[in-house]
Amino acid sequence: MLFLLVLFSLSSATAAVKEYNTELLIIGGGASGTTAAIQASRMGVKTLILEETEWLGGMLTSAGVSAIDGNHQMPSGLWGEFRQKLYQHYGGPAAVETGWVSNTLFEPSIGNKVLKEMAHQTNLSIWYKTEWTSIKRKGKGWEIETLSKGKRSRIYARLIIDATETGDVMAYLKIPYRIGMDSRSSTGEIQAPEQANNIIQDMTYVVTLKDFGPGSDRTIPKPAGYNPKEFECSCDVADPSAAEHRPNIDCSQMITYGKLPNQKYMINWPKCGNDIYLNILEMNKKERTEALKSAKLHSLRFIYYLQNKLGYKNLGIADDEYPTADKLPMIPYHRESRRLDGVVTLTLNDVSDPYQQKTSLYRTGVAIGDYPIDHHHLKNTAAPQIDFVKIKVPSYNIPLGALIPKNTIGIIIAEKSISVTNIVAGASRLQPVVLTIGQAAGALAAVALKNQQEPAEVSIRNVQAALLASKAYLMPFIDVKATDQDFTIIQKIGATGLLIGTGIPYKWANQTWFYPELSISQFDLIQGFKSFYPELKELYPSGEQSNAEFVSKLFTSLLQKDISVADLHKALKGRDFKEELQKQTVLNRRTIAILADHFLHPFDRQIDFEGNLKN
């Protein structure tokens, strides 16, 4: 009888574990996890997201950072789709330009709603309020144990994407990663400190406030440990990137920094505000929960200061945003995560001058960003004194190899945990960059699964082609939009280096220009082509602008067959050329890109993760 009882108990326990099979498992339904899932499922991959909260969007929504930083002029792929749906909801671009920190601000709950609408895909399932408890290799894939409302499940997946906020899956699997500031000698970045350390950026527990109207008093109870002196310089709204650092005291401007639609306010203020130094990366879940109480308390102290000292009593904690008892966001805003030691690592040198490095990582680009190097270290006096504002960079792209571990198969790393240096992480952490990183991770997963390959074995060009088909940018060209009829061609040519962009550090939205309507000298044209075609024979270029005759000679030399000016004209049939091309007709960069794509198909040549041509 006892034996039967034990047998029944064991069989019942086994039956209680629900089993599920999927091709792709994405752990974390944050900014990158959501776009990765949408992209992969649209490419026909059976995909499952595990998300600990009941929302999608992570830092965009669940953390309350609902003011997009950067990429306003480059609405790449799913980032552009997300923004367009916000426009449709609120009534156009002007309706979301409510705060001065961003061109796109929205209520976190609306961001969640929009992302859930976008995630309605045939091949996509989402398990909310679900935790993973263990992960291990099983055959050619993974076995993952989960827990949701006391019920256990077992998932079998061919491929995993770590889209957690802090790289927790990567750490669990003991995949090599870095934390904190890199040493100058390890990265070659002269701006890095001489010695490495484990100091990360300040984090923030964001608060969403709501204007309850004149005469309202929504002042919260005085929080424990409140000290008004801690927040006395919070009304200084001076731009740290200005030539002269002069205080500019304007409390109303500080409040409207993150003004959202419908009279709500994102309180995510660095200067004597609610930033806090709290390194919880290596803590377990219980330790993190306890430590985050101090971050919440610090933010409540700042809210009490705004209400009690500055007089904003009508601004109370929004009661219609988050499904939490305290009406605060479900998670904190992590500005920094563990960082993968990947197949390649993107350094500041690569970002600052992509075309003059030993590697050509720009050729492998899959995500883009234009925000400056922005680090928050005001709350940690032990942090090395680096003036990050003075580090000037153009817009940039993220190489595919930064998402792939060196020696671990079956997993892709996304979110803020990709393989970049600490300095570069100050730019790659921004929301639209992470959204595009997620889309790239989804495309990489789909290509790998469809071809039964590991992520490190895929054709980089196949991944890039899938992204281009989704109107995602590979190159950060500000002046060739996705709506341009030649967008795909120019992106492909840019990703070969035949025609390079001109990068410019510019205020808070850095730039790279392709200049499609400008001509290019024979000398500069040959330099670009030689970088991709080392076999190119000398053509003795001059400083004159490249004309049809010179381009025909260039193509003839490369193809070892005669390409005449008439052949060039024929290839441009249907374009804006109303007259026959003459030998002396100067060609602009757009036309040369179109002709190079037509005759040479350079994008079809395979490259490795460093951007080198494969034999």
Range name among 234-243, 297-306, 552-561 with the lowest pLDDT average? 234-243
Half-sphere exposure of 24 (CA within 13 A, CB side): 37
Q: Taking each helix axis as running N to C, give the angle between helix 487-494 and helix 460-469, from 0 to 180 degrees, rounded to the nearest 10.
A: 150
In 3-state terms the chain splits into helix, strand, coil percentages (rounded to 5) of 35, 15, 50
Q: Which of 472, 455, 520 is nearest to 74 (CA)?
A: 472
Q: Of the candidates 43, 23, 37, which has an alpha carbon nearest to the alpha carbon of residue 158? A: 23
pLDDT of 7 over the 60 cut: no
527 vs 531: CA distance, rounded Å: 6
* Residue 497 · residue 362 · CB < 8 Å: yes
**19 burial class (0-12, 13-18, 19+ CB within 10 angstroms)?**
exposed
Which long-range contacts does 383-392 make (Cβ < 8 Å, 24+ apart)? 383/199, 384/181, 384/193, 384/197, 384/199, 386/191, 386/193, 388/423, 388/426, 389/240, 389/241, 391/191, 391/348, 391/423, 392/352, 392/505
pLDDT of residue 570: 94
Please name the residues in contact with 497: beta carbons below 8 A apart, sequence gap of 6 or more.
Answer: 355, 360, 362, 363, 528, 531, 532
Yes or no: say if 202 and 276 are a contact pair by the CB < 8 Å rule.
yes
Mean pLDDT of 237-266: 91
Going along 97-231, which residue ranges are E strands? 124-127, 131-138, 141-148, 151-162, 177-178, 203-204, 207-211
DSSP three-state, residue 371: coil
Integer Cα distance of 260 and 99 in angstroms: 6
Distances (CA, A) of 491 to 20, 117, 300, 485: 39, 29, 47, 12
- Using alpha carbons, select from 104, 380, 399 the residue that is nearest to residue 266: 104
Report pLDDT for 12. Answer: 47
State how far the Cα of 255 lies from the Cα of 595, in Å rounded to an integer.
Answer: 53
Structure-token pair, residue 595: 């002709």
Distance from C-alpha of 41 to C-alpha of 380, rounded to nearest angstrom: 42
Number of H helices, E strands in the chain: 17, 19
> For 215-219, what is the mean pLDDT?
97
How many residues are present in the chain? 615
Q: What is the Cα–Cα distance from 326 to 516, expressed in whole angstroms?
A: 53
CB atoms within 10 A of CB 443: 30
Is it the case that residue 567 has pLDDT exceeding 90? yes
Tokens of 239: 């731009």
452-481 confidence digits (pLDDT tens): 999 999 999 999 999 999 999 999 999 999
CA distances, 270 to each of 209, 377, 543, 574, 583 (Å): 17, 9, 50, 54, 60
| Residue 123 Cα distances to 24, 40, 114, 159, 361, angstroms | 10, 9, 18, 15, 32
pLDDT of residue 15: 52
CA distance 231 to 237: 13
Encode burial over 456-469: b for 16+ CB neighbours within 10 A, e otherwise.
bebebbbbbbbbbe
* Gap between the Cα atoms of 163 and 411, Å rounded: 11
Q: Which among 200, 378, 218 has a CA at the least distance from the CA of 282?
A: 200
Q: 578 or 21: whose pLDDT is higher?
A: 21
- 577 band by pLDDT with thresholds 50, 70 and 90: low
Residues 89-110, mean pLDDT to the nearest whole number? 98
User: How far, in Å, CA of 39 to CA of 439, rounded?
Assistant: 6
Reported as a pLDDT band with limits 50, 70 and 90, residue 284 is very high
Name the token pair of 249: 């005291």
- Checking if the pLDDT of 45 tops 90, the result is yes
> Average pLDDT over the chain, rounded to whole?
95
Question: Where does the pLDDT of residue 240 fall: very low under 50, low under 70, confident under 90, or very high at 90 and above?
Answer: confident
Burial class of 28 by CB neighbour count within 10 A (0 to 12, 13 to 18, 19+)? buried
Least confident range of 246-250, 341-345, 470-474: 246-250
- CA of residue 269 relative to chain centroid, distance: 22
Q: Do residues 154 and 161 touch, judged by C-beta distance below 8 A?
A: no
Cα separation, 271 vs 233, in Å, equals 7
Tokens of 614: 């494969």
State how far the Cα of 495 lies from the Cα of 263, in Å rounded to an integer.
Answer: 43
Q: Name the residue among 384, 455, 390 with its Cα closest to residue 419.
A: 455
Domains of the chain: 18-197+336-349+371-461 (3.50.50.60), 203-317 (no CATH)
d(CA 182, CA 58): 27
pLDDT per residue over 483-504, tens digit each? Answer: 999 999 999 999 999 999 999 9
Tens of pLDDT along 369-405? 999 999 999 999 999 989 888 999 999 999 999 999 9
In the chain, % of residues over pLDDT 70? 97
pLDDT surpasses 90 at 318: yes
**What type of residue sits at position 449?**
L
Q: How many other C-beta atoms are found inside a 10 Å radius of the C-beta of residue 8?
A: 10
Q: Are 330 and 322 in contact (CB under 8 A)?
A: yes
pLDDT in tens, 506-540: 999 999 999 999 999 999 999 999 999 999 987 89
Amino acid letter, 427: A
pLDDT value at residue 8 = 44
- Alpha-carbon torsion 317, 321, 324, 325, what sign? positive
Q: Give the residue-averaged pLDDT of 9-36.
A: 84
